[in-house]
Amino acid sequence: MFKKITKFPDNFLWGGATAANQIEGAYLADGKGLTTIDLMPTGPKRNQVSMGNLDSFGPEEGEFYPSHEAINFYHRYKEDIALFAEMGFKSFRMSVSWARIFPNGDDLEPNEAGLKFYDDVFDELLKYDIEPVVTICHFDLPVSLAKNYGGWKNRKMVSLFERYAKILFDRYKNKVKYWMTFNEINMLLHLPYTGAGIVFEEGEDKQQVLYQAAHHELVASALAVKACHEMIPDAMIGCMLAAGNAYPYSSNPEDYWEVMKMERDSYFLIDVQSKGEYPGYAKRFFIENGIELQLEPEDLELLRKHTVDYIGFSYYSSRCTSADPEILKNFTDGNVFGSVINPYLETSEWGWTIDPKGMRITCNQLYDRYNKPLFIVENGLGAQDILLVNNTVEDDYRIDYLDRHFAEIAEAIQDGIDIMGYTSWGPIDLVSNGTGEMKKRYGYIYVDRNNDGSGTLRRIKKKSFHWYKEVIAKNGAQYFQK
């Protein structure tokens, strides 16, 4: 009666994922304005700026800003896309830099040269039958929106974002069928400047500011979904969550309750984007913490009516938590959200927990919760690679990480989950968002560039390049042969 699922879907969107500020470089080319990330230095200040504790509105002498050149995708995109095509990519996730289109964010007219750049990139992808998957905002705002408007603190951002999104839909309606509004929308609550261009003022009620900004992004996202559905009826538009299931440190119910709180802290925003209303636990949290959202009369109706078509998410690690303050001291880093060290799991060189099974658990949790197609739009291992004299990189550790995650994705597919595709993070080495380093590499393609900006930018295929090419060629059939 029921049929066993024996393969990845035929149209599974294998590919890779990037963000404009981490690959493009050419930071002032052809009329582009400065973005928030263009003024984010490397070193210890980076974290303070990301958290909104220190402003960074102008380049400072002696600081290094890695996005200025990044890997110069802006001038080398043809070579890079040819390499993606050689691996057999079916999709390529990228973001548009808002400041290429509206250099100051509130300009009256869009910048034609910026629009033309993305036309050229999309055409190049489509030439190889690679579907562009486009994030409208992946962390980088035109810096003048942060400086002059206070970023997403300000309601005015909603209409500026809507206008920007509509320009993209209108221009690229025949080229782009997969969209996402905000990258890792829940990041706003943890890295307010990265996620929302917020710098806190002295004495400001941080929670009030954050949740009001989150509300603005949610309304803006709903308006973009509305416009996308009206302007490109055959497109899909999704949300994007920094995901990762959590485990209780022990079987103590108090530990399990901490897990629920931790997961809800992540889910809360996409609960709204996907289900169309603030969940009860969020309303209770607002009331008990004295948070009063300023709503426009139409807001709740907009949120209700314009929900997303799919759930995009990143998965790098699972987390672990406890109600015991002593256990909580035993922390390791993660993709911004730290975790209690899980004694059953290893960690990466950057302290991120490695948990392939967590990928299957996360897929199941998200599908149970939303019942919408999932798109795994980020996953991968950041590691230091060694370029060998014969011009290759033996990145067996990366192959091992991906291989174990793909096996769990195949399990999730057999669990009956509708997964649209998988784009691994940084298919070509790029600038790390967290640290600004180049040496934290995720790619199948090595880029000759160092932390200090030195290097030739030459592209070199790693061992994983050939391995991923084989996985795609077989549409992951090896994960179903047991």
Scanning 42-50, 151-159, 210-218, 431-439 for contacts with ligand BG6 by CB under 6 A, the matching segment is: 431-439
Q: Which is nearer to ligand BG6, 34 or 336 (CB)?
A: 336
Residue 346 burial (10 A CB sphere; 0-12, 13-18, 19+): exposed
Catalytic residue among 24, 124, 162, 184: 184
CB of 21 to ligand BG6, least distance (A): 8
Cα–Cα dist 218/216, whole Å: 5
CB of 366 to ligand BG6, least distance (A): 17
Q: Which of 347, 371, 186 is nearest to 274 (CA)?
A: 371
Residue with smaller CB distance to ligand BG6, 44 or 297: 44
d(CA 145, CA 392): 43
In angstroms, give the least distance from the CB of 350 to ligand BG6. Answer: 7
| 378 interacts with ligand BG6 by CB under 6 A | yes
Of 378, 408, 411, 437, catalytic: 378
Q: Dihedrals φ, ψ of 141, to 5°? A: -100, 155
How far is residue 220's CA from residue 425's CA, in Å, rounded to a whole number? 26
Tell me if 242 contacts ligand BG6 by CB under 6 A.
yes
248: tokens are 């209780």
Nearer to ligand BG6, 402 or 410 (CB): 402
Q: What is the DSSP letter of 62?
A: T
CB 442 within 8 A of CB 71: no
Within 263-322, strands assigned E span 310-315, 319-321
433 binds ligand BG6 (CB under 6 A): yes
Compute the residue count for the chain.
Answer: 482
Query: For residues 447 and 464, is the Cβ–Cβ distance under 8 A?
Result: no
> Interaction with ligand BG6 in 267-326: which residues (CB under 6 A)?
314
Helix, strand, or coil (residue 136): strand
> Catalytic residue at 184?
yes
x/- track of binding to ligand BG6 for residues 62-101 (CB under 6 A) = ----------------------------------------
Answer yes or no: 63 catalytic.
Answer: no
CB 359 within 8 A of CB 379: yes
Is 212 near ligand BG6 (CB under 6 A)? no
On whether the CB atoms of residues 405 and 472 are closer than 8 A, the answer is no
Piece of the chain touching ligand BG6 by CB under 6 A; list 31-39, 67-75, 158-166, 430-438: 430-438
Among 24, 131, 162, 184, binds ligand BG6 (CB under 6 A): 184
Binding mask 321-350 for ligand BG6 (x = CB under 6 A): --------------x---------------
Cα 167 to chain centroid, rounded? 22
Residues with a catalytic annotation lie at 184, 378
- Residues at the interface with ligand BG6 (CB under 6 A): 19, 22, 183-184, 242, 314, 335, 378, 382, 425, 432-434, 440
